[in-house]
């Protein structure tokens, strides 16, 4: 699975003008299930997101996790993280998981974060969403479970 994390002071997602998820301090997590991913990758990604130390400590160093600072996660599905831009001018998305699998793993990932005692808000899978955020830092981090043993 792939995720793009943005440390935020606030973020929200709207579908058809209605807010479906909104957080204050925490992480906006754009997530994509890749072909071949399973619940194992979703759990590993959730654990990594919950422990990643990208929030400042008292000395101003990035040494605290979203859990440490009492933050929340806004999880938004984004299949475009699977974009293959190696050739041509139009990205290909064939490495993304099939929609049924992608939806299941998106929901499973969100639940895995909740089981790690993180407040989680969500967008709506496959919807046309408007995402707003105030990026804190700015801090943006890319995670991919394929990069880890």
CA distance 132 to 39: 28
CA distance 119 to 67: 9
DSSP state of 81: G
Which of these is catalytic: 80, 93, 134, 140? 80
Q: How many CB atoms neighbour CB 30 within 10 A?
A: 22
DSSP state of 70: T
Which of these is catalytic: 6, 78, 109, 145? 78
Please say if 125 is a catalytic residue.
no
Which of these is catalytic: 55, 79, 109, 145? 79
Please say if 140 is a catalytic residue.
no
Please say if 78 is a catalytic residue.
yes
Active site residues per annotation: 78-80
């Amino acid at each position: 699975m792939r995720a793009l994390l943005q440390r935020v002071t606030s973020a929200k997602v709207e579908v058809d003008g209605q807010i479906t998820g909104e957080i204050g301090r925490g992480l906006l997590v754009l997530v994509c299930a890749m072909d071949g991913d399973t619940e194992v990758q979703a759990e590993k990604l959730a654990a990594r997101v919950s422990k990643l130390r990208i929030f400042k400590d008292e000395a101003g160093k990035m040494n605290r996790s979203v859990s440490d600072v009492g933050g929340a996660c806004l999880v938004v599905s984004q299949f475009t993280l699977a974009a293959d831009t190696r050739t041509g001018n139009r990205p290909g998305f064939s490495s993304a998981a099939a929609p049924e699998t992608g939806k299941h793993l998106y929901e499973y990932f969100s639940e895995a974060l909740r089981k790690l005692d993180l407040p989680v808000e969500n967008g709506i899978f496959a919807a046309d969403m408007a995402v707003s955020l105030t990026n804190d830092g700015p801090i943006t981090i890319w995670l991919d479970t394929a990069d880890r043993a």
